[in-house]
Structure 1
Amino acid sequence: PATSRGAMTLWAMDPAARDAKLAYKALRKKGGDRHAWVLIEVACASSPDHLVAVRKAYCSAYGSSLEEDVAACPLYKEPLKQFLVRLVSSYRYGGEHVDGELARAEAADLHGAVAAKKQPLHGDVVRIVSSRSKPQLKATFQHYKQEHGKAIDEVLEGNRNDKLSAMLKTAVWCLTSPEKHFAEVIRSSIIGLGTDEESLTRAIVSRAEVDMKKVKEEYKVRYKTTVTKDVVGDTSGYYQGILLTLIGAE
């Protein structure tokens, strides 16, 4: 069946080519913010070098750049479009160095925009989230929590009816704790009417060799059940077999 073939095809691909293909498809799908999730995952949930490899793979496969295709995509309006363009075209510092003063200052900038002005994709926010290294952002988010008593993702979660807050939360998670995001993708593809096989396959295939152990732990803590149990309850046959192999023992 198509689902198991799709899963096998994705699994067999080079990771950069796989992400390029996922991004290409996401830019051509109407409806729902889930397709923007794909672009955020590709841009934020891996290393800076991986994103460069994805952009190269995208250019060779589709004859245009990922950045220009995101910028030209009619599905996204400003300021979300600008945010997505900045994310996919970023090249972050990959080292461990953190500037504490900068983290404190930028935590204040984020709080001013997100909590005070309720503008989750304000210019400062976009600049900070799309350009800083992951260790730097972790330090900034820690300062945010220390100063304001609430983590930035909790603040964004509180504005859950606001699409821009939801997108920023996805980026924050993908940058600093991708297992939270992918646990949510798996859960939301299973719960509800019918399975969203595409999202389920994408999450499991793309994290299988990255951080599946963490995703499984996060899932257990948050949903009081296991990924294995939910996948068994919701899929069948050869497709189920492939997913369970990628998930690994629990």
Structure 2
Amino acid sequence: MMLWATNPAARDAKLAHKALKTKGDRAVWVLIEVACASTPDHLIAVRKAYCAAYSSSLEEDPLILTDAIVPQFLVRLVTSFRYSGEFVDDEVARAEAAELHKAVVAGKEPLHEDVVRIISTRSKPQLKATFERYKQEHGKAIEEVLEERRSSDQFAAVLKTAVWCLASPEKHFAEVIRSSIVGFGTDESSLTRAIVSRAEVDMKKVKEEYRAMYRKTVTHDVSDDTSGYYKDILLTLVGPE
């Protein structure tokens, strides 16, 4: 309830600060969510709230340089201010799909300046066009290629999360919810964050994607894995299936 009642920009600033003090993939998820699943104006608001609360800019916080995975990429993401219009350049999409394929598949390391530049600067409509062109040209979605490499390539896992948050955030948050409740125990921090942060954004899409990916509903799995007032609040935010 405290997260739900907090101003969204201040809430994301707090979540980012907590993540920077925590090691691991899920901490990096938070930073990528804030940078990539937000509008450009919201990201600016988060950075302002971060400065006000912690007397340091998000990108200059020493923690982002010491504890975070792939700091260069994360800094570029959190400092990005993307074009928010709908204009798409098809020639740019074609050229950058080829650049991504060359860097990700054809022998180069994914942590390549072209990859960082494209993912951290292009508008979301432009990136969606680029990813679609990638799939058309190479017969496989870029996130599928990255998923195959994520177990052995740390940056591939981070890049796949960024791609989903930019182009299909509902897929990422469906995965966050699922990973929070499968196995022994519940990752209440991740589960709460995912549901609270998307409740008024795209929860309908998250629920649809969750059903498509896992053949179950968010409501069913949250009900099975939580209890009491905590369950009641989560299900209220999730809404009817």
TM-score, normalised with respect to structure 2? 0.97
1:137-169 Cα distance to aligned partner (Å, 9 max, x none): 011111111111111011111112022111100
2:178 pairs with 1:205 = no
Quote the residue 1:151 is aligned against.
141
Structural mapping, 1:1-250, within 5 Å: 8-30=1-23, 32-69=24-61, 72-76=64-68, 80-161=70-151, 162-250=153-241
CA, structure 1 residues 72+186, in 2 after alignment: closer, same or farther (shift >3 Å)?
Answer: closer
1:7-59 Cα distance to aligned partner (Å, 9 max, x none): x00000111111000000000113x2110000000000011111000000110
CA, structure 1 residues 163+149, in 2 after alignment: closer, same or farther (shift >3 Å)?
Answer: same
1:45-101 Cα distance to aligned partner (Å, 9 max, x none): 011111000000110111100010167531135xx1100000000000011111111
- The Cα shift of 1:122 comes to 1.1
Give 2:47's aligned amino acid: R
Task: Please report the RMSD computed on the Cα atoms of aligned residues, expressed in angstroms.
Answer: 1.1
- Cα distance in 2 for residues equivalent to 1:177 and 1:9: 27
Give 1:104's aligned amino acid: R
Mapped contact 2:20–2:68 kept (Cα < 8 A): no
- Cα distance in 2 for residues equivalent to 1:58 and 1:138: 29
SS of the residue corresponding to residue 68 of structure 2 reads coil
SS of the residue corresponding to residue 137 of structure 1 reads helix
CA, structure 1 residues 240+71, in 2 after alignment: closer, same or farther (shift >3 Å)?
Answer: closer
SS of the residue corresponding to residue 125 of structure 1 reads helix
SS of the residue corresponding to residue 209 of structure 1 reads coil
1:110-131 Cα distance to aligned partner (Å, 9 max, x none): 0000011252221110000000
Mapped contact 1:27–1:70 kept (Cα < 8 A): no
Mapped contact 1:71–1:85 kept (Cα < 8 A): no
CA, structure 1 residues 120+142, in 2 after alignment: closer, same or farther (shift >3 Å)?
Answer: same
1:172-219 Cα distance to aligned partner (Å, 9 max, x none): 000010000000000000001210000000000000000000000000
SS of the residue corresponding to residue 192 of structure 1 reads coil
Mapped contact 2:20–2:63 kept (Cα < 8 A): no
How many percent identity over aligned positions?
74
Report the number of matched residues. Answer: 240
Q: After TM superposition, which residue ranges in structure 1, 4 or more long, deviate above 2 angstroms?
A: 70-73
Give 1:69's aligned amino acid: D
- Using CA pairs under 8 Å that are at least 6 residues apart, name the structure with larger relative contact order, 1 or 2: 1
SS of the residue corresponding to residue 117 of structure 1 reads coil
